[in-house]
């Protein structure tokens, strides 16, 4: 930020002072460790923590019908069932998972041809 090129475009240097870490000195290793511990928060799309996989996959948590293995009456219907991170915003994929889940639930409860299923 203090290079000649940045000075020419008048780019301001950001203030990275964090009061919680100020006691460790200015720009010391201890300060930056404290800064990272306070400021390093996940801000992306959470996914892939309850992998949907066939029963033969020991790392799978959720069946292809979105039921949690070994737990009766529980389904997971969100981005956590995706086995891998997608390279784009996962919202459309989550919509597809939710739509598929609604079809599966209607099938399991024999609701495909009822009025409630068509609303």
Catalytic residue positions, numbered: 45
Cα 94 from chain centroid? Answer: 11
CA dihedral sign, ordered 15, 17, 19, 20: positive
C-alpha–C-alpha distance, residues 2 and 10, integer Å: 10
The 3-state secondary structure of 7-55, one letter per residue: HHCCCCCCCCCCHHHHHHCCCCHHHHHHHHHHHCCCCCCCCCCCCECCC
């Amino acid at each position: 930020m203090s290079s000649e090129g940045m000075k020419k475009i008048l780019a301001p240097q950001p203030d990275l002072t964090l009061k919680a870490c100020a006691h460790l000195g200015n720009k010391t290793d201890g300060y930056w460790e404290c800064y990272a511990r306070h400021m390093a928060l996940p801000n992306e799309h959470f996914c892939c923590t309850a992998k949907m996989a066939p029963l033969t996959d020991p790392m799978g948590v959720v069946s292809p019908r979105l039921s949690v293995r070994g737990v009766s009456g529980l389904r997971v219907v969100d981005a956590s069932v995706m086995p891998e991170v997608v390279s784009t915003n996962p919202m459309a994929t989550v919509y597809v998972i939710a739509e598929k889940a609604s079809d599966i639930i209607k099938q399991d409860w024999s609701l495909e041809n009822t009025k409630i299923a068509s609303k």
